[in-house]
């Protein structure tokens, strides 16, 4: 029997709160973070977004750092989430030095680069901007205040990025490359980001409605979440109590289209099937599914078909928390993993908000947060462009 992989720390920042406590309160109150733009300066102000409710200056103050042109919004949010995760896991400097850090992003430092793009020919700061643009720089900036990690890596597979960072870290634990890893992702809103999705014509001009017949697209969001994962033996040796267990995971690619999911949800079905197989579970043992559920016509139809293929007519309660946070793209997998951890610990199901009318042949999401039975196993989905699909099984830790 393989050594269990446990989660001993978690930190989260999103439109519904900074930290686990605020996030839990918003989820239980059914309070969305999606609204009008405040910090992103765009002419498309008719598009609702899920912004973290802090300016860059406010985040710098919380982190105790001075304004620096190199500090991107992605890095600032990442530092807040990482700090909480390391504190909860009671990580010492020596333990950090033994832990690989695997972080996910796709936008990277685009937010700062955009400020100076038009001035590049004349701006002396352009080289500083270029140095913070790429995704690897964000990983380094997020990690920098916390000491020297054993290694650092950056994962960028669009909307499955943070889940794949977790899977990469879990594989390192399983094959003995590390006893403890720190994994997750961070992604900020940018004009490039917003305009790109708007060009694809998949942004809703109203708050998103995943799995609703009248759904019209997604709302972009931003945020960060990190988790400390380790073997059960490592947690016992460090004297820390596991919060939950990562029981299984799967990644697959349907290679159907550059942006769209296949109609039958092939990649999603394969990823969920593998996660359940690794966890040693039958579909009927899952008590809640945190769906990818973007609110686009294609995604929700495709995911509905994949869920039906896995569960048949005996679907467990399903909801998408993107109606709370917006779609945080590369960070969504770790943000939603932390939300699943909160659901396990506090025994509730994040309700589907903004939902009114059932889809044709689609799933009916849960709108009541009270579970009908004890929640022990949760399936969490994250599906990326190009059909890069990943699923996790997060479960109560059995000592």
List, by residue number, the catalytic residues.
159, 292, 327
End-to-end Cα, the chain, rounded Å: 14
Strand 377-383 vs strand 100-104: parallel, antiparallel, or unpaired? unpaired
Residues 6 or more apart whose Cβ sits within 8 Å of residue 60: 66, 67, 71, 76
Q: Are 186 and 14 in contact (CB under 8 A)?
A: no
Distance CA 295, CA 80 (A): 28
For the chain, percent helix, then strand, then coil, each to nearest 5? 40, 20, 40
3-state secondary structure of 52: coil
Q: What are phi and psi of 327, to 5 degrees?
A: -85, 105
CA-based torsion, 61, 63, 67, 71: positive or negative: negative
Continuous segment of H or E residues that includes residue 343: helix 332-346
Distance CA 189, CA 255 (A): 27
Distance CA 272, CA 379 (A): 8
DSSP secondary structure code for residue 46 in this structure: T
Reading the block at residue 280, the tokens are 């040693």
Distance CA 298, CA 260 (A): 7
């Amino acid at each position: 029997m393989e050594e269990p992989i446990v989660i001993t720390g978690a930190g989260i920042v999103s439109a519904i709160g900074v930290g686990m406590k605020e996030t839990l309160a918003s989820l239980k109150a059914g309070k969305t973070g999606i609204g009008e733009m405040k910090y992103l300066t765009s002419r498309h102000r008719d598009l609702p977004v899920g912004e973290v409710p802090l300016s860059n200056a406010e985040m710098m103050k919380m982190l105790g750092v001075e304004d620096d042109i190199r500090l991107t919004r992605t890095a600032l949010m990442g530092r807040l989430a990482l700090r909480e995760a390391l504190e909860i896991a009671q990580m010492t400097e020596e333990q950090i030095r033994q832990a690989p850090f695997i972080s996910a992003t796709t936008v990277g430092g685009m937010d700062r680069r955009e400020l100076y793009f038009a001035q590049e020919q004349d701006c002396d700061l352009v080289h500083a901007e270029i140095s913070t643009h790429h995704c690897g720089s964000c990983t380094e900036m997020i990690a920098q205040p916390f000491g020297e990690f054993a290694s650092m890596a950056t994962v960028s597979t669009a909307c499955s990025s943070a889940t794949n960072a977790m899977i990469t870290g879990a594989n390192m634990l399983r094959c003995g490359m590390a006893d403890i890893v720190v994994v997750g992702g961070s992604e900020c809103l940018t004009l490039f980001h917003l305009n790109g999705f708007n060009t694809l014509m998949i942004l809703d001009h109203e708050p998103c409605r995943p799995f609703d017949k009248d759904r019209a697209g997604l709302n972009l969001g931003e945020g960060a979440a990190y988790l400390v994962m380790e073997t059960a033996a490592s947690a016992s040796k460090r004297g820390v109590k596991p919060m939950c267990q990562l029981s299984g995971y799967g990644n697959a690619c349907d290679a159907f289209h550059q942006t769209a999911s296949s109609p039958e949800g092939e990649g999603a079905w394969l990823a969920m099937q593998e996660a359940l197989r690794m966890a040693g579970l039958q579909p009927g043992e899952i008590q809640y599914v945190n769906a990818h559920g973007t609110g686009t016509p294609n995604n929700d139809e495709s995911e509905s078909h994949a869920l039906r293929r896995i569960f048949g007519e005996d679907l467990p309660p399903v909801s998408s928390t993107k109606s709370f946070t917006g779609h945080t793209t590369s960070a969504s997998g770790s943000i939603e993993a932390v939300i699943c951890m909160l659901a396990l610990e506090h025994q509730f199901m994040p309700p589907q908000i903004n939902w009114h009318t059932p889809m044709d042949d689609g799933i009916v999401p849960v709108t009541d947060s009270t579970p009908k039975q004890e929640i022990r196993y949760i399936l969490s989905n994250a599906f990326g462009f190009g059909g890069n699909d990943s699923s996790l099984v997060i479960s109560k830790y059995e000592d």
